[in-house]
Structure 1
Amino acid sequence: MLLVLGPPSLPIYGSYWFVLLCNYKYIYKSFDTLARWYNTKLLGLHLGPLPTVVACDLDTVKEIFARPEFNGKLDCYISQARAMGVTLGLFFTDSDLWIEQRRFTLRHLRDYGFARRSVLQEENVRQEVMDLLALLNSSKGREDYDVFHDGCALLPQLFCPGIINCLWSVLAGDRFPPEAHKKLRQVADASFHFVKDVEPTGGALVLTPWLRHFGKKGFGSDGLVKGTGYVTGFFR
């Protein structure tokens, strides 16, 4: 039997308090600190009610990625909220459902020019570049404070509409006009908030999902909840 070393478990949140204590902002650094403290390559701990093992060296991580039994993903409140109450897509699914979603996605994306040369997609990219140059050269664009500030163009906000439009043309066969670019930047900003607030453990709303019944704001997940609501509202 393999003995996995790690911090002790406390009520409700398990070892999560020790993870936050080591490095509240960068959880991956916290895992590294704990692994060095316990002198182990496999860190064992409880994240909320979940028994967890964290691989802390390159060889172990590579081995885990190469073994299918470690491909499972946690079905949690956050993943369901992102997909309108169910578990869908490629990021939050596993097993047969993931295989089905992957095949469906690749098959239909190729129909719209993904991973192959397409005159239509090249024209869409050319049009996005032209719209970007027009924005940079127009005096009206300089008044758009979502894109410009103190005479400087803001990144990545400047590129977000073009990137979303190229993806949208593949997914839906259509693109948004320049008049709708501000809306696309807001969608991108909401997605940034979602990614920024999701840390490797999932945070309080994943470890103790019953907290959502006391209000979805707070608990270190304001950006996550706001970003999820905005993106799902846009697609609806």
Structure 2
Amino acid sequence: MLLVTITASIICICLAYFMYQSRPKGFPPGPIWYPILGNLLFVHRLHAKLGYFHLVWLELARQYGLLVGMKLGGNLVIVVNGFEAIKAVSTLQECDGKPDGFVFKMRTYEQRLGVGLTDGPLWMKTRNFVVKNLRLLGVGRVKMQTVILDEACVLVEEIKRSFKSELKKRRLEDFSNLIRLSILNSQWTLVSGKRFDLNDRHLTDLQKLVSSFFKSADFSGGIVNQIPWIRFVAPHWSGYSGMKALVKPLQKFSEELVEEHKMKIDLSLDEQGNLVDAYLAMIATADKNDAIFNGKQNKFL
């Protein structure tokens, strides 16, 4: 009787394993997944080797094609690569939604805020506001082109200065950082109405924070998103410690920016000179119970 029970248990386990491992009909090719974790350990190893998650997806695209079928924890996931493939998928109504989970809300006060990772009425209303005000600020117009050209000229002069001084020993990585700072400055001008000197400590600190966050945070979900309790068992290995250490400085940077603008904003003006002021002006006129135009949402546009 015991032998029959053991045999039946083994058969059930094997059937469950193969059923879990089998790919749905028409599902894109991809790496073999395993029970419970799926491909999470595989992705974790690739990230440790390559350094950034976008390089992980690029490597998978090289191996399996533009559409890669995976399983992260209990969720079936399709990774889309290439401009045309992404454009085609983005037009599908079935792909209108955005992911939700522990990791996605870490930086946004445990709520779904901003534009990037929200959907439904919140996303629609916020997106319309952002697009409208960015256009007023010059995006897609000559004004934005002027901002970019001015920033490019400053970048060229900074590179020239580096070659003429004792800084000429800078490594290639240093010049890559200069380019990143210049791009960030162009965006920051629209958001805050202020540009930094390329050697300004606030700008370099912000660039380091953003780069480090994107390096450590897996916006496909990752192990912490699929198994949130693992942050208590293996906080460093799972990447939770690294993300948590970056969240507080990013929140503080945003909060200080908003508070600075609150002190200076002129609500009597019909047009505001940057996105933060435009949002603060909207908050001032919105209903106090408005779920969209509120103080926390302002920090994660």
**TM-score normalised over the length of structure 2:** 0.56
1:112 corresponding residue in structure 2: 137
Residue 8 of structure 1: how far off its partner (Å):
4.9
The structure richer in helix per residue is 2
8 Å CA contact 2:104–2:219 kept in 1: the answer is: no
| SS of 1:82 mapped into structure 2 | coil
For residues 82 and 190 of structure 2, the distance between their equivalents in structure 1, rounded to whole angstroms, comes to: 39
Instruction: Give 2:187's aligned amino acid.
Output: L
8 Å CA contact 2:213–2:246 kept in 1: the answer is: yes
8 Å CA contact 1:190–1:226 kept in 2: the answer is: no
TM alignment of 1:117-156, pairs within 5 A: 117-118=142-143, 122=146, 126=150, 129-130=153-154, 133=157, 137=161, 148=167, 150-152=169-171, 154-156=174-176
**Aligned-pair RMSD on alpha carbons?**
4.1
For residues 133 and 56 of structure 1, the distance between their equivalents in structure 2, rounded to whole angstroms, comes to: 36
1:83 matched to 2:83? The reply is: no
**TM-score normalised over the length of structure 1:** 0.69
For residues 127 and 42 of structure 1, the distance between their equivalents in structure 2, rounded to whole angstroms, comes to: 38
In structure 2, the CA distance between the partners of 1:51 and 1:228, relative to structure 1 (3 Å rule), is: same
1:169 corresponding residue in structure 2: 189
8 Å CA contact 1:109–1:170 kept in 2: the answer is: yes
Instruction: Give 1:156's aligned amino acid.
Output: S
Residue 233 of structure 1: how far off its partner (Å):
2.2
5+ residue gaps in structure 1? none
For residues 61 and 164 of structure 1, the distance between their equivalents in structure 2, rounded to whole angstroms, comes to: 25
TM alignment of 1:1-236, pairs within 5 A: 3=25, 7-11=32-36, 13-17=37-41, 25=49, 27-28=56-57, 29-30=59-60, 33=63, 43=69, 45-53=70-78, 63-118=88-143, 122=146, 126=150, 129-130=153-154, 133=157, 137=161, 148=167, 150-152=169-171, 154-176=174-196, 178=197, 181-199=200-218, 201-214=220-233, 216-220=235-239, 223-236=242-255
8 Å CA contact 2:151–2:186 kept in 1: the answer is: no
Name which one, 1 or 2, has greater alpha-carbon Rg. Answer: 2
Instruction: Give 1:171's aligned amino acid.
Output: V
The answer to which of 192-201 and 125-134 deviates more is 125-134
Residue 216 of structure 1: how far off its partner (Å):
4.6
Residue 115 of structure 1: how far off its partner (Å):
1.7
In structure 2, the CA distance between the partners of 1:233 and 1:218, relative to structure 1 (3 Å rule), is: farther
8 Å CA contact 1:20–1:27 kept in 2: the answer is: no
8 Å CA contact 2:155–2:178 kept in 1: the answer is: no
- Paired residues in the alignment total 221
Residue 130 of structure 1: how far off its partner (Å):
4.3
8 Å CA contact 1:125–1:166 kept in 2: the answer is: no
Q: Deviations over 1:142-191 (max 9, x none)?
A: 67xxxx57345712322344433332221222334x39712211211221
For residues 114 and 75 of structure 1, the distance between their equivalents in structure 2, rounded to whole angstroms, comes to: 30
5+ residue gaps in structure 2? 1-23, 50-54, 256-301
Which has the higher relative contact order, 1 or 2, with Cα contacts under 8 A spaced 6 or more apart?
A: 2
